[in-house]
Amino acid sequence: MIKNVAWGLLLGVAIFASGCGGDEGIGMKTHPVTGTVKLQDGTPVSGARLMFNSADGKFASQGNTDSSGKYTLVTSSDDGAPAGEYTVTITGANVNAKHGTAAGGFKQNVTEGQNTIDFTVEPSK
């Protein structure tokens, strides 16, 4: 009986530990994504929110621009995003929320390694 309980505890700890730490937090390897958001005249967009939604709808990552228009993508457990195709929407006080494709966002690919993705957007009207 004690032997069965010990094996059960060991199995439970192993299962719990396999889901903790590093890239395993979201279940796939993420890659750093940084960049800038600027208006067409080159003015940095401060306080914009970027949402990267995977083409399959299974993953989302977000970032916010600072006063110089720079952003870094993060998730609830990791920085960056897994490699793949994304629809990116950018919203904020100075940004026209409808831009890019007919679906309302930019299409972008995140690749393995460091990614720098800059955006030029229309000012809100």
What's the number of domains the chain is made of?
1
Residues 6+ apart with CB under 8 A from 36: 44, 65, 68, 69, 70, 71, 118, 119
Tell me what pLDDT residue 13 has: 39
Residue 99 in any domain: the answer is: yes
In a domain, 17, yes or no: no
pLDDT digits 0-9 by tens, 93-120: 677 654 444 345 788 999 999 999 998 8
List CB contacts of 113: < 8 A, sequence separation 6 or more: 31
Q: What is the DSSP letter of 42?
A: S
Give domain status of residue 18, yes or no. Answer: no
Per-residue tokens: 116: 């720098």
- Write the burial class of residue 74 (CB in 10 Å: 0-12 exposed, 13-18 middle, 19+ buried): middle
Range of the domain at 104: 28-121
What pTM was computed for the model? 0.72
